[in-house]
Amino acid sequence: MDRASPKVLALLAGLTLVWGTNWSMFHVALSELPVLTFRTGSLTVAVIVLYAIVKARGESLVVPKGRWLPLVAASMMNLTVWNIATSLAVLYLPSGHASVLSYTMPLWVALLGFVFFRQPLTGRLLAAILIGGAAVVALMAPNFASYANAPWGLFWGLVAGFCWAIGTFIVKRTSWPGMGLSLTFWQIAASWPPIAIGAALIDGLPAQWPSTEAIAVTFYTGAIPMALGTSAWFALVKLLPAQVAGLASIAIPIVAVASGVVFLHEPLSPLQAVAIASTVISLWLALMPVRSS
């Protein structure tokens, strides 16, 4: 396997840092804005930023014939449900713990592949699933005692990871001829209407204008982690071997937990630290293939 260039690895490190620290920022915006309103604002910014980039690069926004249905389905799983579920999980759990649950996606991919696509479930993957399941239980146990609504946090965090896995299968098993950055743009654009309509019907108008800090976090989330981060991720998946790109999935929850402890003073008991380490081991087993001789 050829070594990735330093520039590509630096981009991967930057993406991990941006996506990891973004979790701790959710609390800032969600302390003033309802979930759907916050996500509508960040998605609006992401759509505008990506449209400008696509046009500046001279790329086509044409969706190939017969691809709208899988595109909308992928958008629903990768972005619509993900954005809502992760925001709700952060409301009920410390942001770092919510991120660990949401990034169990590779384990769901292994299970779904085995059940629906007859992909072999090796001893390595089975061990990853068992360790990951035990880690989730250990991670949540202290929260059930200290957070009255912790079960909802567990539910929404796992829903996010599960739906991301479904969206991953849709994207992987569909041919997207001629679509580069426009695939990311249309997925984000397609997720905007249902969330915006939900915000209008459920959230309504805010009782008071949010603070400058909450508005800044909303703009930052849309422009950097969502627009540029998602674009960088799809680019890295094409540029890097799958196992190297998968390192981001392992590192992001670690960065999220660390930022939550440092910036939000979120609790981290020894049991939770062991659970997070076990999750990392589980993801490593799922993502890192055995080297051939």
Task: Please provide the average confidence, as pLDDT, over all residues in the chain.
Answer: 84
- pLDDT tens readout for residues 164-204: 889 988 988 899 998 889 999 999 999 999 999 999 999 98
Question: What is the C-alpha separation between 20 and 143, in angstroms, rounded?
Answer: 21
Confidence check: pLDDT of 292 > 60: no
Identify the three-state secondary structure at position 209: coil
Annotate 153-219 with DSSP letters as a single string. Answer: HHHHHHHHHHHHHHHHHHHHTS--TT-SHHHHHHHHHHHHHHHHHHIIIII-S-SSPPPHHHHHHHH
Other CB atoms within 10 A of residue 197 CB: 12
pLDDT at 3: 53
pLDDT at 247: 55
pLDDT at 288: 63
